[in-house]
Structure 1
Amino acid sequence: MSARDESGRTIDQAEEAIQAAMRASDLAELDLLIADDLAFSGPDGAVVGKAADLEAHRTGATRFERIEETLRRTTETPEGGTTETTAVATVWNEGRWVDVSLRWVRDWRIIDGRWQVASGSVTILG
Protein backbone atom coordinates (compact mmCIF):
# COMPACT_ATOMS: atom_id res chain seq x y z
CA MET A 1 0.00 0.00 0.00
CA SER A 2 1.35 3.39 -0.99
CA ALA A 3 1.85 6.16 1.54
CA ARG A 4 -0.33 9.19 0.99
CA ASP A 5 0.20 12.79 1.97
CA GLU A 6 -2.47 14.89 3.71
CA SER A 7 -4.23 15.56 0.38
CA GLY A 8 -4.36 11.82 -0.37
CA ARG A 9 -1.68 12.00 -3.06
CA THR A 10 0.65 9.02 -3.57
CA ILE A 11 4.32 9.36 -4.51
CA ASP A 12 3.46 8.34 -8.09
CA GLN A 13 0.76 11.01 -8.26
CA ALA A 14 3.30 13.53 -6.97
CA GLU A 15 5.72 12.46 -9.73
CA GLU A 16 2.97 12.95 -12.32
CA ALA A 17 2.19 16.36 -10.83
CA ILE A 18 5.80 17.54 -10.98
CA GLN A 19 6.11 16.47 -14.61
CA ALA A 20 2.95 18.41 -15.48
CA ALA A 21 4.22 21.43 -13.54
CA MET A 22 7.56 21.26 -15.36
CA ARG A 23 5.84 21.15 -18.77
CA ALA A 24 3.73 24.17 -17.83
CA SER A 25 6.46 25.98 -15.85
CA ASP A 26 3.77 26.22 -13.17
CA LEU A 27 5.71 28.08 -10.47
CA ALA A 28 2.99 27.76 -7.81
CA GLU A 29 2.78 23.97 -8.19
CA LEU A 30 6.58 23.58 -8.43
CA ASP A 31 6.91 25.64 -5.25
CA LEU A 32 4.61 23.18 -3.45
CA LEU A 33 6.37 20.09 -4.82
CA ILE A 34 9.97 21.17 -4.14
CA ALA A 35 11.43 21.20 -0.63
CA ASP A 36 12.93 24.48 0.56
CA ASP A 37 16.33 22.84 1.08
CA LEU A 38 16.41 21.04 -2.29
CA ALA A 39 19.79 19.86 -3.60
CA PHE A 40 19.41 18.82 -7.24
CA SER A 41 22.24 17.82 -9.61
CA GLY A 42 21.85 18.80 -13.24
CA PRO A 43 23.32 17.03 -16.28
CA ASP A 44 26.45 19.18 -16.01
CA GLY A 45 27.00 18.14 -12.37
CA ALA A 46 26.05 21.54 -10.96
CA VAL A 47 23.89 21.37 -7.84
CA VAL A 48 20.99 23.82 -7.67
CA GLY A 49 18.56 24.68 -4.93
CA LYS A 50 14.88 25.50 -4.99
CA ALA A 51 15.27 29.23 -5.67
CA ALA A 52 17.51 28.64 -8.70
CA ASP A 53 15.21 25.93 -10.08
CA LEU A 54 12.13 28.13 -9.79
CA GLU A 55 14.00 31.11 -11.28
CA ALA A 56 15.04 29.03 -14.30
CA HIS A 57 11.38 28.21 -14.96
CA ARG A 58 10.28 31.79 -14.28
CA THR A 59 12.76 33.28 -16.78
CA GLY A 60 12.28 30.57 -19.41
CA ALA A 61 15.87 29.35 -19.11
CA THR A 62 14.34 25.94 -18.34
CA ARG A 63 11.44 25.02 -20.60
CA PHE A 64 9.89 21.69 -21.49
CA GLU A 65 7.65 21.39 -24.51
CA ARG A 66 7.24 17.66 -23.98
CA ILE A 67 7.97 15.03 -21.33
CA GLU A 68 6.88 11.54 -22.38
CA GLU A 69 7.60 9.02 -19.67
CA THR A 70 8.94 5.69 -20.93
CA LEU A 71 9.78 4.00 -17.61
CA ARG A 72 9.26 4.62 -13.91
CA ARG A 73 10.52 2.77 -10.87
CA THR A 74 9.10 3.78 -7.51
CA THR A 75 10.54 2.66 -4.19
CA GLU A 76 9.00 3.59 -0.87
CA THR A 77 10.82 3.60 2.45
CA PRO A 78 9.70 4.52 5.96
CA GLU A 79 11.25 7.99 5.39
CA GLY A 80 9.61 8.66 2.01
CA GLY A 81 10.54 7.24 -1.35
CA THR A 82 12.35 7.53 -4.64
CA THR A 83 11.16 7.77 -8.21
CA GLU A 84 13.45 6.97 -11.11
CA THR A 85 11.83 8.21 -14.30
CA THR A 86 13.10 7.85 -17.85
CA ALA A 87 11.47 10.05 -20.47
CA VAL A 88 11.82 11.45 -23.95
CA ALA A 89 11.69 15.21 -23.66
CA THR A 90 11.78 18.28 -25.83
CA VAL A 91 13.70 20.97 -23.95
CA TRP A 92 14.77 24.53 -24.70
CA ASN A 93 18.56 24.56 -24.86
CA GLU A 94 20.76 27.42 -26.00
CA GLY A 95 18.07 29.07 -28.11
CA ARG A 96 16.52 26.01 -29.73
CA TRP A 97 14.28 23.03 -28.98
CA VAL A 98 16.15 19.75 -28.55
CA ASP A 99 14.81 16.21 -28.30
CA VAL A 100 16.61 14.20 -25.63
CA SER A 101 16.22 11.13 -23.42
CA LEU A 102 16.54 11.96 -19.73
CA ARG A 103 16.51 10.09 -16.42
CA TRP A 104 15.33 11.86 -13.29
CA VAL A 105 15.95 10.40 -9.84
CA ARG A 106 13.94 12.17 -7.18
CA ASP A 107 14.05 11.55 -3.44
CA TRP A 108 10.62 12.39 -2.03
CA ARG A 109 9.64 13.12 1.56
CA ILE A 110 6.35 14.14 3.12
CA ILE A 111 7.14 17.63 4.40
CA ASP A 112 4.48 19.99 5.76
CA GLY A 113 1.91 17.31 4.97
CA ARG A 114 2.70 16.93 1.25
CA TRP A 115 5.10 15.03 -0.97
CA GLN A 116 8.11 17.19 -1.84
CA VAL A 117 11.34 16.53 -3.73
CA ALA A 118 14.16 16.78 -1.18
CA SER A 119 17.02 15.88 -3.54
CA GLY A 120 17.68 14.33 -6.89
CA SER A 121 19.40 14.45 -10.22
CA VAL A 122 18.80 14.44 -13.94
CA THR A 123 21.12 12.81 -16.48
CA ILE A 124 21.12 12.80 -20.26
CA LEU A 125 20.79 9.34 -21.77
CA GLY A 126 21.03 10.41 -25.38
Structure 2
Amino acid sequence: MTTRDDRGRSIDQAQDALHQAMRGGDVSHLRELLYEGLAFELPGESVVGRAADLDAHASGATRFDKLSELHRSTLEHDGHGRTSSLVDIVVFDRGHRIEARMSYRRFWSIIEGRWQVVAGSAEPFA
Protein backbone atom coordinates (compact mmCIF):
# COMPACT_ATOMS: atom_id res chain seq x y z
CA MET A 1 0.00 0.00 0.00
CA THR A 2 1.28 3.45 -0.92
CA THR A 3 1.81 5.87 1.94
CA ARG A 4 0.47 9.35 1.26
CA ASP A 5 1.43 12.52 3.06
CA ASP A 6 -1.05 15.09 4.37
CA ARG A 7 -1.22 16.63 0.88
CA GLY A 8 -2.22 13.27 -0.59
CA ARG A 9 1.11 12.81 -2.37
CA SER A 10 2.91 9.50 -2.77
CA ILE A 11 6.70 9.36 -2.58
CA ASP A 12 6.77 9.17 -6.40
CA GLN A 13 4.63 12.28 -6.71
CA ALA A 14 6.95 14.06 -4.25
CA GLN A 15 9.96 13.02 -6.38
CA ASP A 16 8.20 14.35 -9.50
CA ALA A 17 7.59 17.64 -7.67
CA LEU A 18 11.25 17.75 -6.63
CA HIS A 19 12.42 17.29 -10.23
CA GLN A 20 10.05 20.01 -11.40
CA ALA A 21 11.35 22.39 -8.70
CA MET A 22 14.96 21.58 -9.65
CA ARG A 23 14.26 22.26 -13.35
CA GLY A 24 12.59 25.56 -12.53
CA GLY A 25 14.97 26.68 -9.78
CA ASP A 26 11.89 26.97 -7.57
CA VAL A 27 13.46 27.60 -4.17
CA SER A 28 10.10 27.82 -2.39
CA HIS A 29 9.12 24.31 -3.48
CA LEU A 30 12.61 22.96 -2.88
CA ARG A 31 12.42 24.32 0.68
CA GLU A 32 9.22 22.29 1.22
CA LEU A 33 10.73 19.09 -0.18
CA LEU A 34 14.18 19.16 1.47
CA TYR A 35 14.50 18.35 5.16
CA GLU A 36 16.20 21.01 7.26
CA GLY A 37 18.90 18.50 8.30
CA LEU A 38 19.50 17.23 4.75
CA ALA A 39 22.88 15.64 3.99
CA PHE A 40 23.40 15.07 0.26
CA GLU A 41 26.60 13.52 -1.08
CA LEU A 42 27.83 14.85 -4.41
CA PRO A 43 30.43 13.36 -6.76
CA GLY A 44 33.86 13.70 -5.22
CA GLU A 45 32.43 12.85 -1.80
CA SER A 46 31.53 16.42 -0.84
CA VAL A 47 28.38 16.74 1.22
CA VAL A 48 25.95 19.65 0.99
CA GLY A 49 23.12 20.59 3.28
CA ARG A 50 19.76 22.14 2.63
CA ALA A 51 20.89 25.76 3.13
CA ALA A 52 23.77 25.46 0.66
CA ASP A 53 21.55 23.74 -1.92
CA LEU A 54 18.83 26.37 -1.60
CA ASP A 55 21.40 29.19 -1.80
CA ALA A 56 22.90 27.69 -4.97
CA HIS A 57 19.49 27.59 -6.65
CA ALA A 58 18.46 31.04 -5.40
CA SER A 59 21.68 32.71 -6.59
CA GLY A 60 21.69 30.92 -9.94
CA ALA A 61 25.00 29.22 -9.14
CA THR A 62 23.18 25.94 -9.85
CA ARG A 63 20.75 25.87 -12.76
CA PHE A 64 19.30 22.80 -14.45
CA ASP A 65 18.62 23.17 -18.16
CA LYS A 66 17.67 19.51 -18.50
CA LEU A 67 16.67 16.84 -16.04
CA SER A 68 15.14 13.80 -17.72
CA GLU A 69 14.45 10.72 -15.64
CA LEU A 70 15.11 7.52 -17.57
CA HIS A 71 14.34 5.00 -14.84
CA ARG A 72 13.16 4.98 -11.24
CA SER A 73 12.78 2.36 -8.56
CA THR A 74 10.93 3.14 -5.36
CA LEU A 75 10.75 1.37 -2.02
CA GLU A 76 8.59 2.78 0.74
CA HIS A 77 6.88 1.66 3.89
CA ASP A 78 5.09 3.43 6.69
CA GLY A 79 6.22 6.98 5.94
CA HIS A 80 9.81 6.22 4.95
CA GLY A 81 11.29 5.30 1.61
CA ARG A 82 14.01 5.41 -1.00
CA THR A 83 14.01 6.40 -4.63
CA SER A 84 16.78 5.44 -7.02
CA SER A 85 16.76 7.04 -10.41
CA LEU A 86 18.83 7.27 -13.56
CA VAL A 87 18.74 10.79 -14.95
CA ASP A 88 20.18 12.66 -17.92
CA ILE A 89 21.08 16.20 -16.84
CA VAL A 90 22.45 19.42 -18.22
CA VAL A 91 23.32 21.65 -15.29
CA PHE A 92 25.27 24.87 -14.94
CA ASP A 93 27.27 24.74 -11.73
CA ARG A 94 29.05 28.01 -10.91
CA GLY A 95 29.35 28.82 -14.60
CA HIS A 96 30.46 25.36 -15.73
CA ARG A 97 28.16 23.40 -18.04
CA ILE A 98 27.89 19.76 -17.07
CA GLU A 99 26.11 17.20 -19.23
CA ALA A 100 25.94 13.75 -17.69
CA ARG A 101 23.97 10.64 -16.95
CA MET A 102 23.63 10.49 -13.18
CA SER A 103 22.44 7.98 -10.63
CA TYR A 104 20.49 9.64 -7.82
CA ARG A 105 19.50 7.96 -4.57
CA ARG A 106 17.21 9.80 -2.16
CA PHE A 107 15.95 8.78 1.25
CA TRP A 108 12.55 10.22 2.11
CA SER A 109 10.45 10.50 5.27
CA ILE A 110 7.14 12.09 6.02
CA ILE A 111 8.05 14.96 8.34
CA GLU A 112 5.62 17.67 9.37
CA GLY A 113 3.00 15.94 7.26
CA ARG A 114 4.88 15.97 3.96
CA TRP A 115 7.40 13.84 2.11
CA GLN A 116 10.89 15.34 2.50
CA VAL A 117 14.33 14.25 1.31
CA VAL A 118 16.43 13.57 4.41
CA ALA A 119 19.58 12.24 2.72
CA GLY A 120 20.84 11.19 -0.66
CA SER A 121 23.62 10.98 -3.17
CA ALA A 122 24.37 11.65 -6.81
CA GLU A 123 27.10 10.00 -8.84
CA PRO A 124 27.95 9.65 -12.50
CA PHE A 125 26.46 6.54 -14.05
CA ALA A 126 29.20 4.27 -15.34
**How would you bin the TM-score normalised by the shorter chain?**
over 0.9
What percentage of residue pairs aligned between the two structures are identical? 42
Within-5 A mapping of 1:1-126: 1-93=1-93, 95-125=95-125
Secondary structure at the counterpart of residue 63 of structure 1: strand
Secondary structure at the counterpart of residue 62 of structure 2: coil
Deviation of 1:59 after TM superposition, in Å, equals 1.3
The answer for unaligned runs of 5 or more in structure 1 is: none
The answer for unaligned runs of 5 or more in structure 2 is: none
Q: Judge conservation of contact 2:67–2:89 (CA < 8 Å) in 1.
A: yes
AA at the equivalent of 1:122: A
Count of residue pairs brought into register by the alignment: 126
TM (norm. structure 1) is: 0.94
TM (norm. structure 2) is: 0.94
d(CA) in 2 for partners of 1:56, 1:93: 9
Q: Could you list the structure 1 runs, at least 4 aligned residues long, displaced by more than 4 angstroms after superposition.
A: none
